[in-house]
Amino acid sequence: MADEAGKSQALVKAELTICKAQDVRKETELRMKSYANWEEFLMPAPISIAILGQLVFISAGQGDFSINKNPPKDGFKHIKYPESFKASLCQVSNQGWVAFNTAHVNMDQIRLLSMSVPGRMKAIVKILFQDTETVNAMLPTQLKNMKAVADDCKDLAQGVKDKYSDVIYLIQELMEACLNAKKSYEDELKDIQIALRQAQIKEKAAKEAQKLAEQYHDQMKQQVNESFNQYKEAMKAIPTGWDAVGMTVVENITNGLSNIVTGFTSMFTGKGGKMGAGKMIGSAVAGLEEFNHGSVMPALNIFAKSEMLLTFATQLKELSDEHDGLNMEKVVNEKTQEVDTNWLKDNFLELKSSIDTENMCEPKNQAQEICTSGLRICEQLEKMALSQNKGQEEAKSLVEEIKRLYQRASEFDSHSKSSVGSPAFTVKRG
C-alpha cells in the first residue's frame, strides 16, 4: 500500500512539473479570448435604452394613427394595438424595459451562482488527489452540483435571450406593419391630392364666376341707366303722331335688358341657346376663356340693341309706298316743313356711339355697319326732303338700300336672340 501511495504522489508531482499554473492561465486566456470582448457586447445597451426613451417621447408628443392597413390573414402575432401607432411604440418601449430588467436580474443570479464555482472546483481538485475510493464516492456529487449550477445559468441566460428575441420580433413586425401602412397612406394621399386639386379648380372657377357676376351687376346697372337715357331721348325726338313707335321703343329697351339677363344666365347654367354651350354664332364667344378677356359682356350689350335697330329699320321700311317709291308725306311734315325722319337719324347716331364704346367683338362690327347704313339713309332722306328736285330713280335706289338695311337688321336680331337663348318672337303686351 505504501508503494502505491508513493507512486500516486510521484505522478501528481510529475504532472505539476509539466503543467504549471502560469501555463494553465495562459492557455485558458487564449481559449477565452474570443469571448472576452465584453465591452463590445455592452456598448449597445446604453444606446438601446436611450432609443427606448426617445420612443416614449415620440409616442407622447406626436399625432396618432392606425397601422392596421391590410393586416395579415392570421392577424398580428406580437403587436397588441395595431389601431394605434403610439400604443405600439409604447409596447416596444415597455417590452424592451422588461427585457433589460430580466437581463439585469438573471445576470445577477448568474453572478451569484458563478461565485460558488471556484470553491467547488477547489473541492473537486482536492478530491481528485485522494484515493480512488474517496474519488468514486465524492466526485459524482460535486460534479452534479456543478452541472446544476451550469444548467441554472444556462436557463437564466436563455430566459434573457427569449425576452430580447420577443422584442426583436415585435420591432420587426412593427416595421413591416409601418411599411405596409405607409403604402396605403401614400395611395390615400394621392387620392386626397387629386381631390384637393379638383377642389382648387372648382374654387378658382367659383371665384371667376363671382368676379363675372360682379362685372355683370355693374354692366347691368350701367345698361339700365343708358336704357333709361335712351328712352327719354327717344320719346323727346319722336314726332307728333308716332306714339305707337314710342311704345315699341320702350318695349324694345325692356326686351334688350331681358336678353342680357337671359344670355348671362344661360352662359352659367348651360341652358338656352348656343351661348349656353360656350359658343356664340359669329365667334362672339368661344367659351369661358374668351369671356375672361371681356368679349361676352360687350356682345350681350350689343345684342340687347338688336331690337332697337330692327325697329328703326322697320320705320325706314314703312316710308316706301306700294310702287317701291318713297312716301314723302311721311318724311316731311307739310305744315312745318320739318324732316320727320331726323329722330331716326339721332337714334342711329346715339346707338352707334354707344356701340363704339364696347370692346371689340363680332357683333360690334355688324351693329356698326347697320348703324352706319341707317345714318347714310337718313342723311339721304333729309337731303331729298330739302331738295326741290326729287328724282324717282334716286328714290327707288334709296328704297332698295332701305330693304337691304331691314334685311340685315332682321338677320342680326334673329342672330342675337339665338345666341342669348331668348325667344325669336316676343309677346306683345296689351
Cα–Cα distance measured from residue 276 to residue 249, given in angstroms and rounded to the nearest whole number: 28
For residue 15, pLDDT beyond 70: no
Share of the chain above pLDDT 90, in %: 11
Q: What local confidence, expressed as pLDDT, does residue 226 receive?
A: 67
Q: What local confidence, expressed as pLDDT, does residue 154 receive?
A: 93
pLDDT digits (tens, 9 = 90+) for 236-254: 555 555 454 444 555 555 5
SS3 per-residue string spanning the chain: CHHHHHHHHHHHHHHHHHCCHHHHHHHHHHHHHHHCCHHHHHCHHHHHHHHHHHHHHHHHHCCCCCCCCCCCCCCCCCCCCCCCHHHHHHHHHHHHHHHHHHHHHHHHHHHHHHHCHHHHHHHHHHHHCCCHHHHHHHHHHHHHHHHHHHHHHHHHHHHHHHHHHHHHHHHHHHHHHHHHHHHHHHHHHHHHHHHHHHHHHHHHHHHHHHHHHHHHHHHHHHHHHHHHHHHHHHHHHCCCCCHHHHHHHHHHHHHHHHHHHHHHHHHHHCCCCHHHHCECHHHCCECHHHHHCCCHHHHHHHHCCHHHHHHHHHHHHCCECCCCCECHHHHECCCCCCECCHHHHHHHHHHHHHHHCCCCCHHHHHHHHHHHHHHHHHHHHHHHHHCCCCCHHHHHHHHHHHHHHHHHHHHHHHHHHHHHCCCCCCCCCC
Q: What local confidence, expressed as pLDDT, does residue 202 receive?
A: 87
Report residue 231's pLDDT band, with 50, 70 and 90 as the boundaries: low
Q: What local confidence, expressed as pLDDT, does residue 281 receive?
A: 35
Report residue 363's pLDDT band, with 50, 70 and 90 as the boundaries: confident
**What is the residue whose three cell numbers read 424595459?**
97
For residue 268, pLDDT beyond 80: no
pLDDT digits (tens, 9 = 90+) for 383-420: 887 775 666 777 788 888 888 888 998 888 888 877 76
For residue 77, pLDDT beyond 60: yes
Higher pLDDT, 219 or 307: 307
Query: Is-contact 351 343, C-beta < 8 A?
Result: no
Q: Tell me the mean pLDDT in the region 355-361.
A: 82
Q: What local confidence, expressed as pLDDT, does residue 277 receive?
A: 35
Report residue 155's pLDDT band, with 50, 70 and 90 as the boundaries: very high
Close Cβ partners of 245 (under 8 Å, ≥ 6 residues apart): 238, 311, 315
Q: What local confidence, expressed as pLDDT, does residue 338 receive?
A: 75
Share of the chain above pLDDT 70, in %: 69
**Is the whole-model pTM more than 0.85?**
no
User: What value does the CA radius of gyration of the chain take, rounded to a whole number of Å?
Assistant: 55
